[in-house]
Amino acid sequence: MANWAWIVGINDYRNLQSLKYAVADAAAMRDYCQRAGFEQVFYFADNATGFTAADGSWQETKPTFGTLLSFLEDFFAARSLGDGDNFWFFFSGHGLRHEGHDYLLPSDANPSNVTRTGIPVYELTARLRAVGADNVILLLDACRDLSDHSGYGIGDEAHQGVITLYSCAPSEKSYELEALGRGAFTAAVLEAFETQNCATVEKFCRRVSWRVPQLNQQYGKPGQRPIAKVEPNTKNYLILLPKLATDQDLSRMRECAFKAEIDGSWELAKQLWRRVLMIDASDSNAWEQYDRVLGKVLWLEKTLQLPPLPILETELPAKSRIATAVPKSQPPEPPQPKFEDFAVDLGSGVTLELVAIPGGMFMMGAPGSEAKSLDRERPQHQVTVQPLYLGRYAVTQAQYEALMGENPAHFKGQNRPVEQVYWDDAQNFCQYLSQRTEHQFRLPSEAEWEYACRAGTTTPFYFGETITTDQANYDGNYTYGNASKGKYREQTTDVGSFPPNAFGLYDMHGNVWEWCEDVYHDSYNSAPTDGSAWLEGSENDNRSRVLRGGSWCGSPGVCRSAVRYSITRDYIFVTVGFRVVCAPSRTLLGT
């Protein structure tokens, strides 16, 4: 797996306000890439000296329009990378949005004539993809304050097959921090790699998006929220820097490879299995999966008489094995089952959305080092969870009333979560929903709930190491970690009011506690490891049942992913609701 990078930093602009730390940002990124062992690092900046190209010609590296365009056209004309490789592009300087497109501004750009003097990001990505890398990663800190051009920020465009992280939203500006001698965005990017070991796209983007607003607040700057555009979404679980990867990161990428094959994306599945093998060549199961998917890809090319894809294949690690033979004439395989989100129509315009959660393994519970954690969240243990469908939101009052004919909630609002429901009320809702749809609905096991909440993360929250009231509904008079105090709303909020996790689930932290199927036990000693509900002790009808997720009136510490609470099944309160699970069936999978 090769990593190449092109890094551009511009302080001195002829027709725009100059910047202080853009070059320092670029230099810091260059130094990190070199320390991380990148095979090629191309550095263009005000103070760059140039280099001798592979063909012996001299390559200027001053970041003018002519120099950048020449390098873009000449260097990226030939395929130099292949499957499993990454090409990183980092830009620190000014940017503009013009007629629906984002432009990066070289040192001699004229903002009044941006189409002739700026580099359109859509053309940049097309050129970068031509180099043949499996992944192109754009890190664009190009929304610096343009004074009389405020409001022209970039960040709206998504680029097919490209991972893009913008330093802020289109309506915001990207700020430089004098105390650090660099921009907030670059500081967060470097921290994500150097101290947080963010190996995957999802972890990296989530960490940077959380850390930048925190840095700005710390150093007295206005709000700034980085925006990630990942195309396709499956790339969220790619491992970009293998040296930083954990076993859980690798497990998530395996899951994505399986899901890609189920969805019929055989070429993507092949690429994902290649990346697994480049990191762990001893994985015999991955070799078998790769051979099988490769056979499908080759059969499809032959059946449709497609020319082989012109990709420079990166050498896979050596391993003694017998490759799977591809028959000369192979009949089409039966249609692969589809595992995708779906919605249930409850009538009167009310629907209940369910998210397809791929199966996988995770570490359940909290480590002893996690702040505010309790012994009942331990011992940490590995659990395997089967694929499932989980409600995108907690069950709303509109959904509950449509099915049950009543609304017991205290805080009224059709799109707010229903609360004041007994555990048996939630069970009855699942039973009636099953009867109406002929699918099997139930409450989640607490293992399923935590797995879905974490969505591949290992931090206290799926947002990262801490949480703010801009991310969830809890009592903002209390804090967790180094976060600041926030709002205390004193009531529930509409579902979906805050950002989702990587699976697309909303409000897994705060708003209302959520009933689970399990009988409560005061530790995980002897707990199931197959993701099923722990029902030992259920012969006592009123034995306490598990609650998860925290609520609007709880502190952030009790909204952590690992927190488990319990009350008796005949207890109701204004903080307790639920969401539903549907197990995959042959009907749902289209088989």
Calculate the dihedral angle through the C-alpha atoms of 169, 191, 222, 166, rounding to the nearest 10 degrees.
-10
**CATH classification of 342-582 is 3.30.420.40, yes or no?**
no
pTM above 0.75, yes or no: no
**Structural tokens at position 478:** 């209390």
Residue by residue, pLDDT tens for the chain (591 residues) are: 788 999 999 999 999 989 999 999 999 999 999 999 999 999 999 999 888 877 777 889 999 999 998 888 778 767 788 767 889 999 999 988 888 788 899 999 998 898 889 998 888 888 888 788 878 999 999 874 443 333 345 655 666 668 999 998 777 888 999 999 999 999 999 998 888 878 788 888 888 988 999 999 999 998 888 888 887 676 776 777 777 777 777 777 787 777 777 767 777 778 778 777 777 777 787 788 878 788 777 766 555 443 443 333 344 454 433 233 333 333 344 344 456 888 999 999 999 999 999 888 899 999 999 999 999 999 999 999 999 999 999 999 999 999 999 999 999 999 999 999 999 999 999 999 999 998 999 999 999 999 999 998 899 999 999 999 999 999 999 999 999 999 999 999 999 999 998 888 999 999 999 999 999 999 999 999 999 999 987 666 567 999 999 999 999 999 999 999 999 898 888 999 999 999 886 445 554
Which residues touch 111 (CB under 8 Å, ≥6 apart)?
15, 16, 96, 105, 146, 149
Extents of the domains making up the chain: 3-170+224-232, 256-336, 342-582
pLDDT value of residue 153: 52
The backbone torsions φ and ψ at residue 384, rounded to the nearest 5 degrees and listed phi first, read -105, 125
Characterize 356-390 residue by residue with b for buried, 16 or more Cβ atoms within 10 angstroms of its Cβ, and e for exposed.
bbbbbbbbbbbeeebebbbebbbeeeebebebbbb
**Model pLDDT, residue 122:** 83
CA distance 580 to 440: 10
Calpha distance 532→474 (Å, rounded): 29
The C-alpha atoms of residue 179 and residue 222 are separated, in whole angstroms, by 15
DSSP state of 193: H
* Token pair 């089409």 in the structure block, residue: 332
pLDDT score for 586? 44
Q: CB atoms < 10 A from the CB of 569, how many?
A: 17
pLDDT digit string, tens, across residues 6-16: 999 999 999 99
Report DSSP state, residue 493: -
What are the two backbone dihedrals, phi and then psi, of residue 296, each rounded to the nearest 5 degrees?
-65, -45
Topology adopted by domain 3-170+224-232? Rossmann fold (3.40.50)
Instruction: Give the 3-state secondary structure of 203-229.
Output: HHHHHHHHHHHHHHHHCCCCCCCCEEE
Give the model confidence (pLDDT) of 269-317 as tens digits.
787 787 777 777 777 877 888 787 887 777 665 554 434 433 333 444 5
Give how far Cα 356 sits from Cα of 179, 231, 577, Å. Answer: 45, 19, 21
